[in-house]
Structure 1
Amino acid sequence: MSSGSLKFTAAIDQGTTSTRFFIFDERGEPVAKHQEEFNQIYLHAGWIEHDPYVLVQSVRNCIEGATAQFLARGYKLEDISAIGMTNQRETSIVWDTRTGKALYNAIVWADSRTTHIVRQLKSKDGAERLLQMTGLPLSTYPSAVKVRWILEHCSAAQAVYDEGYLAFGTVDSWLLYNLATGDSSERLHVTDVTNASRTMLLNIHTLEYDPFLVKFFGLEKLVLPKVASSSNRTAYGIIREDPLKGLKVTGCLGDQSAALVGQKAFAEGMAKNTYGTGCFMLYNTGIKPVISRNGLLTTVGFQLENQPAVYALEGSIAVAGAAVKFLRDNFGMIKEAREIGELAARVPDSGGVVFVTAFGGLFAPYWIDDAQGTIFGITNYTTKEHICRATIEATCFQTKAIIDAMEKDSGIKIKTLAVDGGMSNSDECMQLQSNIIGINVDRPAMKETTALGAAIAAGLSVNVWPSLDDLQHVNSRDHQKFTAKTTLEEQIKQFRRWERAVAMSKGWLTTEDIDQTYD
């Protein structure tokens, strides 16, 4: 097949449970892709780690697999204009700048071992300033507390830190450090503004690391990555390895910001929800940050090259697809993830069962660190179909709680929710979501919007799409809409029961439990 005048843009999508590499055409359709799952490391309850070198190798493998497909279909590698990158956020890696060696496993964003550190920091002078400066509540979520834990528990990292050579990076920084080089062949230590805004070291108003924040977490000697715009033709260097050696990396975003771009939510008031390992809703609030009063995060949505940053309100749910994986791997209720929607559809409701999937506490808008996973309402009538339905509903109810909070913060009612990610593939799941929130759910035919967002950011920098107007035809085909089949009264009744279950799940972990589990 001759590529003719077609231009292609590639994207690395490094997620929590798998890595993928896509090559998209100008319409946003993937013409080649490769995916590789990798092992999760669970050393203790609440701990989740990744091997940093496995992450790098998984990217290499995916690039090789997808480019081989691309070539087999008659295309040429020189027709790929640029690469974008998107990644799991907050996941933290430290390494020695002299050797490039990682000194501890990557501590994953959903890891909750830092609960005791968070509790100590909340009583520290200045803690009340953090939310206004960073847009983030002090929790186990951001990167800074993870690095703090590494320094307290890894003597090798502490020694390198004391000498002033300890580098920190989120996954994007680590991958670029290992896979790309700058103009003079030096290793890069760089991140984009969306990832940096998740560390709790960046002041979201100035878009720079703040000395007060760095000092608050006791990280004054940490070597931090340079912060660049999400779409940038020079900051992220070039790939230094075959088969794409010499190709520019011109886009970089944290995965949820990438999905916002991939859904083309460039206008203020647009929202998207991504159902992955966790579930993340972002609501575009424009070029000024809105600090939430209702338990949401304020984050940088994206920053196009030579443009002001665009901010978003975010609701983060720690467990979504992870709960489906739990039913499959731990309980053996299903053999494949797709079965959960089919089983849930066999019953008209959950039979009174409510599953609060607080495997590591609850995130937005609750921020409850001392809750654990709890199933209420089990009777002799309960079947695995009811459990499956309650598992899906747990994500849907938390999404409703986030929507309610967003509407309170913004004063604007969300009319349509754009969705993507694994659970959005299920018609049953999306119909349940619409039934619970009472809002239309809009699902594109091509649901790989996270990777597409990274490709769009990269393509905008090299004029694959000269302007946002040129994106109108991108991923525009065959959208499916789900409309609520429930009454407002039913929605209110269901949600009250969920809120009651959340309240009852609080306080399960005592201070003694937390110290014993996470120290």
Structure 2
Amino acid sequence: MSTAIDNSVQSEDKSPEDVPLVASIDVGTTSSRVILFNLLGQEVSKHQIEYSTSASKEQFASVGARRSSVGTAGSGSPQSTAGSSSSQPIFSAEGIAIEANEFLEIEDLTGPSNPTLSFPRPGWVECDPLGILVHVVQCFAANLISMNKVNGDRVSANLPPYRIQCIGIANMRETTLVWSKKTGMPIVDYGIVWNDTRNTSIVTEKRNSTPQALQDRLRAKTGLPLYSTYFSCSKLRWLLDNEPAVRDAYDSGDLMFGTVDTWLIYHLTTENAFVSDVTNASRTGFMNLDTLDYDDELLDYWDISKDKIHLPNIVSSSEYYGDFCVPECVKSSLTSVAWTLLGDFVTRVPAVPIQGCLGDQSASLVGQLAFKPGAAKCTYGTGCFLLYNTGKKKLISSHGALTTFGFWFPHLENEEHAQPHFALEGSVAVAGAVVQWLRDNLRLIPKAEDIGPLASRVSDSGGVVFVPAFSGLFAPYWDASARATIMGMSQHTTSSHLARAAVEGVCFQARAILKAMSSDAAGEGAKDRDFLEEVVDGTYEKAPLSVLAVDGGMSKSKEVMQIQADILGPCVKVRTSASSECTALGAGIAAALAYKNRENRRLWKDLKDVKKWIMYGGEEPMGKAREAFESSQSRTFRSKSLDSDRRRKWKLWEAAIERCRGWTDIMEDEVGTIPKGTVAAKSM
């Protein structure tokens, strides 16, 4: 840690015994990690376990991924297994090549253990609840080992040691888990992951049998599209209808339901706290956005009886949930060294509380420091997720976005900041996935990181428009029957033009969502205004949207982010995250601000203090000084495009969208259901 942080601690405590850190547990779809953050939002220690899958077991066996020994030998250093010299790469969910090292394990599937993430049937995605719990504890133990080593060096250098003050949790949302109140163990050995589509027939039947007036009323309560397969309500319904053990537990009053946050907090607190924060509970389909509680009409709609099921208490994102503990059920997966180290940590005085919780996209909003109404963030992963902070105002979108919670920090002294903050959310189905497609299917690039340099070799796409709708279009278009199209090619077209058109296809979709959200925020009277062209003020306070905070794989490319800024225009600047782990950082911020008494908040006192330290390193420059600081960090991108060129390209994009709509419907109307591989034969 820098001397500046040590001096800051000493200025508030004349004789500091330690330097506070916040621990963040971050469980994503494809990995679990634990990160320790300091006052500057920097990573002091980190350990991650990347999941293998049932689909990739053969690959991992051939690659022989190296694996850290925290969960096996307890040394904290990597070990190589046979075949680690294979040239076959392993890719993360964002398409980035990864390799095991001291801080990153790749789940070992060479033995009998089941994968944490599996795909048992087409469209089915399952996770192992106990596997997730074990990985989280293993990552926590690895961080304690690292921190102890660093603390030895710090004490030798006459510096105060690090100490974890509190813990926050960020998690993939909507994923549905059920377990027994009597035993605490899963009733079935899997959870249904958010992107699983086995519940399609359930939501289709509901849509077809529900009057429009009722649909509108329920959507106003939840802020969600009723008939998406994403949300927990229909996943729970599927489990009750298809798993006899789940139905028996329900009928006997033994069934506990929760999302990943609830499962972790229940098992990692001495009190077995049974809670879910508003950002997660609002994604179940059972919560009323106005009452912040479960709604009887919503439960009845899905035929769920509150008398037969245990639902977690809905709480804020930043409050005391319980003291950290290590459940006995994970002991067999840990070495004696790790178990002893964790035991010492759990019994220390004062106990370390778990007191921050945010769904992953909301955590990213907080980690991006997008605290004010009008701030927006975009996370570029395999797809990309955009959240637009609307503050205390709940907006039900008329442009295809959904309504969710951004965060709720009730103990802040500023009354406005302490209120629950709503957000509009939109998603793009394909972002990093189009880069993977160019790499793996067309062989245009050897590595995902090469997309930016290839696309920037040309000043524009040469009239080529690429709509990457491989699995349909999400917000704001919502056309599942659309398919990917590449238009406008000529003999002049090169690989650089295709690469640039692919990147622009992602950026245009982000612009479409932000335009729709800005229109929602401005009210009914301004639906037709193009805010991304007309707004010229560059402050959070005066513009409906003036800063787009970005993170994730594609945001690491300066070339791609400049293309995004050019497409958005001069009214919006694109700002990359100060942290590469802003989702985990957001959960850490929630935990650090959870203390009721301001003096107990040793890391950050309030949202302004968070911004001062994480964004500006302890200073808070204003005006030109702020612009100069941001420019020096090379993190801010502003449009360099001409208005006429930008508007012309936007019209081409809208025309391409219209031409790719309804493609699968046309195919079915013309030739019926076409078996895979027979399109050419049927069209002859």
Structure 1 and Structure 2 fold alike (TM over 0.5): yes
Distance, in Å, in 2 between the alignment partners of 1:386 and 1:436 is 16
* Paired position in structure 1 for 2:584: 451
* Paired position in structure 1 for 2:33: 20
- AA in 1 matched with 2:119: Y
SS in 1 for 2:615: coil
**Aligned positions of 1:88-99 closer than 5 A:** 88-99=172-183
* Paired position in structure 2 for 1:192: 277
Contact 1:96 1:103 in 2 (8 A): no
Q: CA deviation at 1:104?
A: 5.2
**Aligned positions of 1:120-135 closer than 5 A:** 120-123=205-208, 124-125=210-211, 126-135=214-223
Q: CA deviation at 1:331?
A: 5.7
Q: CA deviation at 1:500?
A: 3.2
Q: 1:441 aligns with which of 568, 574, 578?
A: 574
Q: What's the CA shift string for 1:399-428, capped at 9, x where partnerless?
A: 101111111111253122111222211112
Change (3 A) 1:111 1:348: farther
Q: CA deviation at 1:50?
A: 2.7
- AA in 1 matched with 2:318: S
* Paired position in structure 1 for 2:512: 401
* Paired position in structure 1 for 2:383: 278
Change (3 A) 1:346 1:109: farther
Return the TM-score normalized by structure 2. 0.69
Change (3 A) 1:92 1:484: same
* Paired position in structure 1 for 2:302: 217
* Paired position in structure 2 for 1:6: 19
Q: What's the CA shift string for 1:152-193, capped at 9, x where partnerless?
A: 3434333333333332222211222333331xxxx3322111
More deviation in 408-417 or 448-457?
Answer: 408-417
- AA in 2 matched with 1:174: W
Distance, in Å, in 2 between the alignment partners of 1:77 and 1:59 is 24
* Paired position in structure 1 for 2:614: 475
Change (3 A) 1:325 1:84: farther
Distance, in Å, in 2 between the alignment partners of 1:381 and 1:162 is 67
Q: CA deviation at 1:323?
A: 3.7
Distance, in Å, in 2 between the alignment partners of 1:150 and 1:373 is 34
Q: 1:240 aligns with which of 326, 339, 343?
A: 326
Distance, in Å, in 1 between the alignment partners of 2:191 and 2:179 is 10
Distance, in Å, in 1 between the alignment partners of 2:493 and 2:639 is 26
Q: CA deviation at 1:268?
A: 1.9
Change (3 A) 1:155 1:337: farther
* Paired position in structure 1 for 2:367: 262
Contact 1:442 1:479 in 2 (8 A): no
Change (3 A) 1:62 1:372: farther
* Paired position in structure 1 for 2:201: 116
Contact 1:39 1:50 in 2 (8 A): no
More deviation in 211-220 or 477-486?
Answer: 477-486
**Is 1:137 equivalent to 2:225 in the alignment?**
yes
Count of aligned pairs between the two proteins? 511
Q: CA deviation at 1:328?
A: 4.6
More deviation in 135-144 or 57-66?
Answer: 57-66
**Structure 2, unaligned runs of 5 or more:** 7-15, 54-117, 155-159, 328-338, 412-417, 523-542, 596-600, 617-632, 677-684
Distance, in Å, in 2 between the alignment partners of 1:249 and 1:77 is 21
Q: CA deviation at 1:228?
A: 1.0
**Is 1:420 equivalent to 2:551 in the alignment?**
yes
Q: 2:644 aligns with which of 480, 489, 511?
A: 489
Q: What's the CA shift string for 1:195-250, capped at 9, x where partnerless?
A: 111111110011001011111122224432211110012x2442326534352111
SS in 2 for 1:36: strand
SS in 2 for 1:181: coil
* Paired position in structure 1 for 2:410: 305
* Paired position in structure 2 for 1:370: 481
More deviation in 142-151 or 297-306?
Answer: 142-151
SS in 1 for 2:25: strand
Distance, in Å, in 1 between the alignment partners of 2:501 and 2:517 is 24
- AA in 2 matched with 1:426: S
* Paired position in structure 1 for 2:51: 38
Larger relative contact order (C-alpha < 8 A, sep ≥ 6)? 1
- AA in 2 matched with 1:230: S
Distance, in Å, in 1 between the alignment partners of 2:634 and 2:173 is 28
Distance, in Å, in 2 between the alignment partners of 1:384 and 1:159 is 58
Contact 1:46 1:360 in 2 (8 A): no
More deviation in 446-455 or 399-408?
Answer: 446-455
Contact 1:49 1:105 in 2 (8 A): yes
Q: 1:466 aligns with which of 605, 625, 630?
A: 605
Distance, in Å, in 1 between the alignment partners of 2:366 and 2:311 is 26
Q: What's the CA shift string for 1:57-100, capped at 9, x where partnerless?
A: 33223223333222222268871100111111122222333331
SS in 1 for 2:390: strand
- AA in 2 matched with 1:110: N
* Paired position in structure 1 for 2:535: none
Change (3 A) 1:9 1:385: same
Contact 1:273 1:280 in 2 (8 A): yes
Change (3 A) 1:504 1:111: farther
Contact 1:188 1:237 in 2 (8 A): no
Aligned CA-pair RMSD? 2.9
**Structure 1, unaligned runs of 5 or more:** none
Q: 2:393 aligns with which of 288, 299, 306?
A: 288
Distance, in Å, in 1 between the alignment partners of 2:586 and 2:287 is 23
Change (3 A) 1:509 1:174: farther
SS in 1 for 2:318: coil
Change (3 A) 1:225 1:351: farther
Identity %: 44
Contact 2:187 2:246 in 1 (8 A): no
Change (3 A) 1:47 1:348: farther
- AA in 1 matched with 2:287: L
SS in 2 for 1:7: strand
More deviation in 269-278 or 21-30?
Answer: 269-278
